Amino acid sequence: MTTTTKELRDQVLAARAASRELARTSTAVKDQALANIAKELTAREKELVEANRLDYEEGKSTGLSETLLDRLLLTPDRLRELSRDVLSIAGLPDPVGETFDMRTMPNGLQIGKRRVPLGVIGAVYESRPNVTIDISALCLKSGNGVVLRGGKEAIRSNLALARLVQEAIDRAGGPANAVQFVESTDRALVEEMLHMRGLIDLLIPRGGDEFIRYVAETATIPVVTGGVGVCHTYVDLTADMDNAVAIAYNAKVQRPSVCNALDTLLVHSEIATRYLPQIGRAWGEAGVEMRCDERAYEILQEVTGARVVRAKDSDWGKEFLSLVASVRVVDGIQEAMSHIETHGSGHSEAIITEDYSLANTFLEQVDAAAVFVNASTRFTDGGQFGLGAEVGISTQKMHARGPMGLKELTSYKWIILGKGHIRP
Amino acid sequence: MTTTTKELRDQVLAARAASRELARTSTAVKDQALANIAKELTAREKELVEANRLDYEEGKSTGLSETLLDRLLLTPDRLRELSRDVLSIAGLPDPVGETFDMRTMPNGLQIGKRRVPLGVIGAVYESRPNVTIDISALCLKSGNGVVLRGGKEAIRSNLALARLVQEAIDRAGGPANAVQFVESTDRALVEEMLHMRGLIDLLIPRGGDEFIRYVAETATIPVVTGGVGVCHTYVDLTADMDNAVAIAYNAKVQRPSVCNALDTLLVHSEIATRYLPQIGRAWGEAGVEMRCDERAYEILQEVTGARVVRAKDSDWGKEFLSLVASVRVVDGIQEAMSHIETHGSGHSEAIITEDYSLANTFLEQVDAAAVFVNASTRFTDGGQFGLGAEVGISTQKMHARGPMGLKELTSYKWIILGKGHIRP
């Protein structure tokens, strides 16, 4: 089925009209809709896995990369996890209507803020079908309409999921039209969405580096960009060795295809001969290829089982999304932070240290959405940060930074209560 | 003097470099710089008023409107007011470094947010020279670099003020380069600023309707638009008559050239014959022209001293910025809110009522940056809202809405403190 410009516009207008109703829908109805979604995600497991199998097989036959295939896959386990995420969103407090910062000015005027939905969110994303659920659920709870445009490679999975969401809202007595899924995968429609000023209040693009750059340079509607994570972990001289090995291993190996996985390991020169062989052996067993600067190469090439090559210039500041890491030996925190400033994407950066002052310096001076001390960058995630889920991870500073949950999908209005106040 | 593309870029880069230093400058140094600015604004009164006189006379001779001339004017009184604003900004808490929402997750990971400056703010504005001071002072306190590009008609005033600011920062031992003023008034440079992705973190355009629309449709860097205020005041059947007259009078007459002044008066039909003659006489004495719908016209044409004409279609949703108001009789709050939804610009809207439920309905359903009950829309202002001053008034929902002060010029980073945490 092909969506035309006219149909896209109609869908956006339908989401817009429904969003006005959703903005005033009670928390109880919204939570019931979420409970329905959670239930159906497991109840319709067979149907969903089957739709996904067709996408997956087509992806495989058209040569989709392992990374993209992994992102595309829906298993019963992943569906159960998704279902739990949706339930946890239902359990979070409703952000809409919260009144805060209320105070009485010297002239007796009461002034405060009341939280309101943004309006209509546009989401343009690639292979991961779970995004359809995460974004729908967060928009629903935060009272926003949403226009979803998923990737071609997940079209059957997405259609099945979007239908499930609409039916779940409808059964709860909410405005099902608030969630619209654009069936066409024609790229021209994305370009149109990027210029729908006054119709789409915020666009969230999720995808690779190139796609995000295209959106950022093209859009004339408000956009929150992010998702591209070139993540560094710096192991200082003062690191606890066991922590440093466990964290770098986890950050690279636990799920290499995602944005918060480690890309570059920076190691203090005075600890390199002790630390690198340990992480080199562990990574080697896990199949991690290490692209090393000269000093790291000299140490690691001696390590049995380590898969070592010399790094090219393009291996710094690169998001690998696979079992590859670049490794560099530095002479201290200043060199590490300057490497991060040059090559980081402002996503997630970590230091491993037992030194109080160094930890503070890193927290203060590194400019990224998430700055870690003694923890794996894999924690940068809406669920892990207590937001229930995320519509995306912002690497810009405007509006929201890092994982975006319910609050990040809202705005506020000032409310001013007077007793006949006039300005002198 | 003409600024070229190269010079503009150099200025932005200089602001960027200085902004990194400013981000770490102590509150004491920033407040000293602000105190220096406040002092010099009155100490150099003669010099500033003289520079402004040249701008004003040139503006008058080139036929600048009364509205723009009023915005351009710097008097000793206005300088003293500006000086007080700067001092009040110095007295506000420093937003930078504030750590908030810190909590310990079930796994023991401590997660929170720390407030950071946005980076470099671009400000493009028209005639009002006080904007040079307000924006510089707010950026300084919030640790942001700023690139100011003021209007041609205020160039001498702005240059004198920008120089004053830089000297004040320098004398306090801060990075004077953090404040850059673009001397050229070539429009092509504005267009370049709108595309300086990665160099300017947020652009704040201030000016008329047409200019704001141009920026919104052209910019590919983050922008907060606003300032255009088509403000309605709805007088319900349940209004206190004295309040309703005093508030509408104040909202229109106290300073008609600014964005939060009343543009359209909506009056409940059952109170119109009682209310309209009162406000008609008061406005008539103040010289306010009333552009009326048929029902309002019939009542007001009988009122001695009222200046009444029939409204054209274009008089609804129009920002008059002068002693003109459109007046319409409506049959209740629903018709009033629907008029506001159609014609409002999302700036400031007011209801005058003694009815509790109607007040709540209006607060809940009107979608604007500031929603008032029984007060003049003239209060929408950073100073009046307790923010010290404002860099602008946002009518968009992303990032910030309404008057933007210090907090609205910041972002945050997530900080995560672990003890060797890895993701299971």
Among the residue ranges A138-142, A226-230, A270-274, B87-91, the one predicted with the least confidence is A226-230
Report the amino acid identity of residue A310: R
- Average of per-residue pLDDT values in chain A: 95
pLDDT at A227 over 80: no
Residue B71 scores a pLDDT above 90: no
Q: Are A376 and A211 in contact (CB under 8 A)?
A: no
Nearest by CB to B373, from A367, A402, A418: name it: A418
> CB of A225 within 8 A of CB of A212?
yes
Residue B337 phi, psi dihedral angles, 5° rounding: -70, -35
Q: What is the pLDDT of residues B77-114, one digit of tens each?
A: 999 999 999 999 999 999 999 999 999 999 999 999 99
Which tokens belong to B312?
């054209």
Give me the pLDDT at residue A307, please: 95
Most A CBs within 10 A among B338, B358, B411, B419, hence the mutation to make, goes to B411
Cβ separation of B414 and A367 shorter than 8 Å? no
CB spacing of A411 vs B401 below 8 angstroms: yes
More confident residue, A1 or A363: A363
Asked if A416 lies within 8 A of B372 by C-beta distance, the reply is yes
β pairing state of B392-394 and B402-404: antiparallel
Please tell me if residue B240 touches chain A, with a CB cutoff of 8 Å: yes
Structure-token pair, residue A384: 């892990």
CB nearest to A414's CB, from B109, B197, B402 = B402
Q: Please name the residues between 340 and 359 in chain A that touch chain B, using a CB distance below 8 Å.
A: 359
> Alpha-carbon distance B197 to A215, whole Å?
12
pLDDT digits (tens, 9 = 90+) for B338-349: 999 999 999 999
Tell me the mean pLDDT in the region A279-301. 98
Report the alpha-carbon distance of residue B150 to residue B155 in Å, rounded. Answer: 7
Quote the CA–CA distance of B408 and A225 in Å, as a whole number.
19
Summarised one tens digit per residue, pLDDT across range B254-263 is 999 889 999 9
Interface of A with B in 215-234 (CB under 8 A): 216-220, 222
Mean pLDDT of A367-379: 98
Sign of CA dihedral B260, B264, B267, B272: positive
For chain B, what percent of residues have pLDDT higher than 70? Answer: 99
pLDDT tens for residues A243-285?
999 999 999 999 998 899 999 999 999 999 999 999 999 999 9
C-alpha triplet A115, A227, A166: angle, nearest 5°: 55
Q: How confident is residue B1, by pLDDT bands cut at 50, 70 and 90?
A: very low
Beta partners for B291? B309, B326
Contact A416 B367 (CB under 8 A): no
Say how many C-beta atoms besides its own lie within 10 A of residue B361's C-beta. Answer: 16
Mean of pLDDT values over B213-231: 87
Predicted pLDDT of residue A2? 54
pLDDT computed for residue A1 by the predictor? 45
Average pLDDT of span B178-182: 97
Contact A423 B103 (CB under 8 A): no
The enclosing H or E element of A120 equals strand A120-125
Q: Which residue has the tokens 């229109």?
A: B252
More confident residue, A160 or B216: A160
pTM of the model: 0.90
Please give the share of chain A, as a percent, with pLDDT higher than 70.
99
H helices present in A301-353, as ranges: 333-343
Mean pLDDT check: name the lowest of A63-67, B317-321, B336-340.
Answer: A63-67
Q: Which amino acid does the sequence have at A255? A: R
CB B49 within 8 A of CB B156: no
Q: Which residues contact B14 (CB under 8 A, 6 or more apart)?
A: B177, B180
What are the pLDDT digits (tens) for A153-168? 999 999 999 999 999 9
CA neighbours within 13 Å on the CB side: how many for A111? Answer: 22
Q: Tell me the CA distances in angstroms from B353 to A414, B124, B125, B337, B350, one per residue in order.
A: 18, 39, 37, 14, 10
Contact (CB, 8 A) for A79 and A42: yes
DSSP secondary-structure letter at A100?
Answer: E
**Cα dist from A94 to A31, A89, A138, B218, whole Å:** 9, 9, 11, 36
* pLDDT single digits (tens) B119-156: 999 999 987 899 999 999 999 999 999 999 999 999 99
Residue B76 has pLDDT above 90, yes or no: yes
The pLDDT tens digits of the residues spanning B351-363 come to 999 999 999 999 9
Confidence (pLDDT) at B2: 54
Ordered domains of chain B (ranges, CATH): 5-225+396-416 (3.40.605.10), 231-379 (3.40.309.10)
Question: Average of pLDDT values for B12-21?
Answer: 96
Nearest CA in chain A to B251: A422
Cβ-contact B300, B258 below 8 angstroms: no
Is the distance from CB of B362 to CB of A417 less than 8 angstroms? no
Q: What pLDDT score does B3 carry?
A: 64
B248/chain A closest Cα distance in angstroms: 9
Q: Which amino acid is at A263?
A: D
pLDDT average, residue stretch B24-36: 97
How far is it, in rounded angstroms, from Cα B135 to Cα B391? 5
In this prediction, residues B404-422 reach a mean pLDDT of: 97
Minimal Cβ distance to B418: which of A372, A386, A418: A372
Say if residues A224 and A202 touch (Cβ distance below 8 Å).
Answer: yes
What residue type is assigned to position B309 of the chain?
V
Q: How confident is the model at residue A208 (pLDDT cuts 50, 70, 90)?
A: confident
> Which one of A119, A197, A371 has the shortest CB-CB distance to B397?
A119
Percent of chain A with pLDDT over 90: 86
Q: Compute the count of residue pairs across chains A and B with CB atoms less than 8 Å apart.
A: 201
Residue B113 near residue B101 (C-beta atoms within 8 A): yes
Average pLDDT, chain B: 95
State pLDDT tens for residues B234-254: 999 999 999 999 999 999 999
Q: What is the DSSP letter of A153?
A: G
pLDDT at A395 over 70: yes
Could you report the per-residue pLDDT of A123-132, keeping only the tens digit for each?
999 878 999 9
DSSP element (H, E) containing A31: helix A27-43
List the single residue in A105, A413, A422 with the smallest CB-CB distance to B371. Answer: A413
Q: Please tell me the predicted confidence (pLDDT) of residue A113.
A: 97
175-214 of B, contacting A, C-beta below 8 A: 197, 201-202
Q: Which residue would you say has higher pLDDT here, B330 or A210?
A: B330
Q: What's the length of chain B?
A: 424
First to last CA, chain A: 62
Token reading at B220: 């590919």
CA B265 to chain centre: 22
Question: Do the beta carbons of residue A181 and residue A157 sit within 8 Å?
Answer: no
Contact B371 A218 (CB under 8 A): no
Secondary-structure breakdown of chain A: helix, strand, coil percentages, each rounded to the nearest 5:
45, 20, 35
pLDDT for B228 beyond 60: yes
**For position B317, what pLDDT does the model report?**
97
